Amino acid sequence: MKFISKKEILIDKELSELDLFTLDFIKILKKYTNYVIVSGYVSILLGRSRVSEDVDIIIPKLDFKKFELLADDLKKNNFYCLNNEKNRDIYDYLVKNTAVRFAKKNTVIPNIEIKFEKNKFDKISLNNTIKVKIENYEIVISQLELQIAFKEKVLKSQKDMEDARHIRNVANEHLNFELIDSYKVMLNEFY
């Protein structure tokens, strides 16, 4: 792994099935909107060896027409929504701040959990991204400092604490520790 800049990481690794699944999904997603991947898959992408059943993605709020184009394209490419078949119902879930899950047909795992931006931390995630380059692919993830702060201050499970520790270890020389502390203060006021 090589940190090209604060906004770009180059990773030399063999793509896993989860990576390929994620790349397949975001190839379609990025035609319709920007996105950011958050949570456990970030640490997995950065080399942590652990299992994950889902990949968490935040997108800006879309109008229904744009969402319908996205949903139809996903269906055309062998994805389905686990929550509901109808585009309008799926969209209504998202508008009500309920995440929806997409998987490949005839499977449940792995799946993509997608949600509309709903608060200032989602907005920070969407506006402060890092491009991870693997082979000829690019995956957009959230700023590492926010990932660490959220896992340590809000989620706090053993798995999340280990994810945060892994990110701290692999990115130690590239992290802004004051920013992590600042995010923790902000999260403390919010959660």
CA–CA separation, 182 and 133 (whole Å): 28
**Burial of 108 per CB tally in 10 Å (0-12, 13-18, 19+):** exposed
CA–CA separation, 38 and 155 (whole Å): 13
Residue 191 has pLDDT above 90, yes or no: no
CA–CA separation, 125 and 46 (whole Å): 17
**Which domains, from first to last, does the chain contain?**
2-190 (3.30.460.40)
What pLDDT score does 51 carry?
Answer: 86
Name the nearest CA neighbour of 22 among 125, 146, 138.
Answer: 138
Residue 151 has pLDDT above 90, yes or no: yes
pLDDT per residue as tens digits for the range 48-106: 999 889 999 999 999 999 999 999 999 999 999 999 999 999 999 999 999 999 999 99
Length, in residues, of the chain: 191
What pLDDT score does 114 carry?
Answer: 98
What percent of the chain is modeled with pLDDT above 90?
96
Question: Which single residue is written with the structure tokens 């770009």?
Answer: 8
Q: Is 138 helix (H, G, I), strand (E, B) or coil?
A: strand
- Widest CA span in the chain: 47
pTM for the full model? Answer: 0.96
